[in-house]
Amino acid sequence: MPAKSRTDINKERGHLVVKRNDLIQKSRHQLSLQEQKIMLYLISRIKPDDANFMEQVFTIQEFCRFCGMDETNGKNYSDIKDAIGKLLSRFIWVKQDDGSETSLRWIDKATINKFSGIIRLKLDEGLKPFLLLLTDHYTICEIRHILAMTSKYSIRLYELLRSYVYKGHVTFDIAELKRLLDAENYKLNGHFKVEVLDTALPEINKYTDITITYSFRKEGRRYSHVCFDVGRKETFDRFVAGHDVNQAIDSR
């Protein structure tokens, strides 16, 4: 496969990730930072008129350049292969209206060639209703906004809040938000605040198309909810965010 130019890579960073809101707002998963970026990269390659998932073919070098990873790192092959292997064994749980949860796989099959560096991946068929030919109740964002993020919580919280930006604000029960972010290991709210919210907030505000602030709300003597104010950035501020993303990932 011929190597892509920097211009082509920058163009791909502007590709859109389109997901049905149920997949964002009613799901929980345990994907690492690397695994989330692989999945979002695959979703960004879906064409608007695709009725079925196509096998996506790209090289390790291409993916590393896209994400701003060191192309000369000798561990890239093993690290990416390991991440793909974990994706093959992971499930996403989507809550249904009756309170039950349905499990869906991320990837149907994968092939990776150590000598050519070519990767072949195909999304699982169970994801089709959440990713293909969507006409309502979906969220769109440019994949570039997540590329400079260094925390798995930043990506997940960004997607979640981006799906509610039309409201301007959204409130979550703390326990439910921890569940949605796969952060239930932070039992103390102070640790959750520092390690999750205060880590994600500056990355979201710097690199994405939205701005967020948050506060805690009490019920009785205990903090029970997190309240977010979410706003869209103006055109110039979105341009600055895109520049910051490119600068951050290209300097790594």
Rg for the chain, CA atoms, rounded: 18
Helices H / strands E in the chain, number of each: 12, 11
* Interval 68-125: pLDDT, tens: 888 788 899 999 999 999 999 999 988 888 888 889 999 999 999 999 999 999 999 9
Beta partners for residue 119, in sequence order: 58, 112
Q: pLDDT at residue 10 above 90?
A: no
| Helix orientation angle between 60-67 and 33-44, rounded to the nearest 10 degrees | 100
Phi-psi region of 168 (alpha: psi -120 to 50; beta: other; left: phi over 0): left
Backbone angles phi, psi at 32, to 5 degrees: -75, 175
* Interval 138-190: pLDDT, tens: 999 999 999 999 999 999 999 999 999 999 999 999 999 999 999 999 999 99
Find tokens 């939205």 and name the residue: 210
pLDDT score of 99: 83
Instruction: Delineate the domains of the chain, giving CATH numbers in brackets.
Output: 1-147 (1.10.10.10), 151-252 (1.10.10.10)
pLDDT score of 173: 97
Give the H or E element holding residue 222.
strand 222-232
Upper half-sphere CA count for residue 23 (Cβ side, 13 Å) = 22
* Interval 217-246: pLDDT, tens: 988 888 899 999 999 999 999 999 988 998
User: Is the Cβ–Cβ distance between 104 and 94 less than 8 Å?
Assistant: yes
In angstroms, the CA 208 to CA 136 distance is 23
pLDDT score of 252: 66
Strands 16-20 and 138-142: antiparallel
Give the number of other Cβ atoms within 10 Å of residue 202's Cβ.
10
